[in-house]
Amino acid sequence: MGDDRPSGYTEGNNTIYRASSAGMCLTALVASRLGYQPDRQKFASDVLTNAAKEGNLHENAVVEELKKTYGYRVWGSQDSFDMKVIPHVYFRGHVDGICRPKGARNDRLLEIKTMSKDRFRKWKNLGSIRTRLVSDEFASYGAQISVYMQAYDNIPAVYVVKDRNSGELTIDELKLPPFPYKDIKKKIIQAEMWAKKQELPPCTASSSDQFFCAFPYLHNGSVFGDEPTDELEPIDDVTKVLVGGMAAQYHDLASRINLLKPLDEERKEIGKKIVTALGGPTGTKTMVAGGFKVTRTGGSSNYVDAEELAGELGMEVEQYKELVKKHTKKRPYTYVLVTKLGDK
């Protein structure tokens, strides 16, 4: 089940970091630790909230399928743990279970994730389980399971991912953590050092991390805070954060459309959302947001005003044609052009 507490918080004399936050950027970890208020953009927040709800609904179904179809034994669902990082600093987390595959003699950790069909496709296309969990796309998952494995004396883990649309599962076994625990521990120590100084470290998060970050207003450069130029002013409102994030998605999908045609439908849907965010067909025409120049443009198509024409039916053919021509009007339509700043 989800944990609504901050990624880092104090509890008495101790500092607690959620194990699921082990892959977060250092800036976000320190911001959470210092009590900064999350202000994730609504679009990203809705995506994460819906994914969490669906994940909780599917988790029990995955466990039952492992038992009935694959002969697994599963127990200890949502068992929690506290693991000391350094004195008075702990990782806290909960595992999806402990399991033992059919015919196995030793226990494994069980980690379950659910994904949309597009994200699941990316997951499968990245190759081996280790390659997936150290990739930029899924590194946060890799850091999380690395902490879990450290907390449970580095026993192997069974990693199950379900496509929420088709029900397809991938079941893989991890014998070693994807990331060395010493590197994760080092980041937590750095977070504590910055927190003791009551300062935030410079942001080094990738653009994908920034899109779903709980603290987008803290980022410098990349998607959420480019330096001002003649064309580019700093992002100073939620709308620009929203448009900048969606423009990054739109631009990426458009660049790959010839390779994967279905992405075009997703690109069009994001385009409609951008038009809405800009205020609709009569809203803001041009906006610089998140390293992109977003231009609302459009044209018109012909249509016949049926109500006006209906009052003049029964005319001769030539008169009718003249009436059709007379009552044919322009219908405006709107779409966006997204160009990455610096591209020709």
Q: Is 115 exposed, middle or buried (0-12, 13-18, 19+ CB in 10 A)?
A: buried
User: Is the domain of 257 the same as that of 329?
Assistant: yes
Look at residues 196, 213, 236 and tell me which one is the last residue of a structural domain: 196
User: Is the domain of 45 the same as that of 137?
Assistant: yes
User: Is the domain of 226 the same as that of 136?
Assistant: no
Beta strands, E only, the chain: 8-11, 14-18, 73-75, 80-86, 89-94, 97-100, 108-115, 157-163, 169-174, 286-289, 292-304, 328-340
SS3 109: strand
How much is the pTM? 0.60
3 and 18 in contact (C-beta within 8 Å)? Answer: yes
Beta strands, E only, 133-181: 157-163, 169-174
Q: Is residue 146 part of a domain?
A: yes
Q: Is residue 93 part of a domain?
A: yes
Q: What is the C-alpha to C-alpha distance for residues 99 and 174, in angstroms, rounded to an integer?
A: 13
Domain that holds residue 285: 221-344
User: Is the domain of 34 the same as that of 107?
Assistant: yes
The band of 1, judged by pLDDT with boundaries at 50, 70 and 90, is: very low
CA angle 257–259–264, rounded 5-degree value: 25
Q: Is residue 203 part of a domain?
A: no
- Cα 216 vs. chain centroid, distance in angstroms? 13
Q: Is residue 210 part of a domain?
A: no
pLDDT of residue 131: 96
Q: What is the C-alpha to C-alpha distance for residues 287 and 275, in angstroms, rounded to an integer?
A: 11
Q: Is residue 178 part of a domain?
A: yes
pLDDT of residue 227: 38
Q: What is the C-alpha to C-alpha distance for residues 148 and 171, in angstroms, rounded to an integer?
A: 18
Least confident of 11-15, 26-30, 33-37, 326-330: 326-330
Q: How many domains are contained in the chain?
A: 2
The band of 140, judged by pLDDT with boundaries at 50, 70 and 90, is: very high
Picking from 27, 29, 169, the residue whose alpha carbon sits closest to that of residue 112 is 169
User: Is the domain of 175 the same as that of 241?
Assistant: no
Can you give the three-state secondary structure of 282-329, one letter per residue? CCCCEEEECCEEEEEEEEEEEEECHHHHHCCCCCCHHHHHHHHHHHEE
Percent of the chain residues topping a pLDDT of 90: 40
Lookup: tokens for 234: 């700093």
User: Is the domain of 54 the same as that of 192?
Assistant: yes
Please write the tens of the pLDDT for every residue from 195-249: 999 988 887 665 445 545 777 666 554 333 333 344 444 444 556 666 777 777 7
Q: Is residue 60 part of a domain?
A: yes
257 or 341: which carries more pLDDT confidence? 341
pLDDT of residue 40: 52
User: Is the domain of 42 the same as that of 175?
Assistant: yes
How many residues does the structure list for the chain? 344
Residue indicated by tokens 């929203």:
242
CB atoms within 10 A of CB 282: 10
Please determine, for residue 161, whether its predicted confidence score (pLDDT) is greater than 80. yes
Residue 234: what are its φ and ψ, rounded to 5°? -65, 150
Least confident of 52-66, 138-152, 212-226: 212-226
Q: What is the C-alpha to C-alpha distance for residues 145 and 158, in angstroms, rounded to an integer?
A: 10
What is the DSSP track for 25-68?
-HHHHHHHHTTPPP---HHHHHHHHHHHHHHHHHHHHHHHHHHH
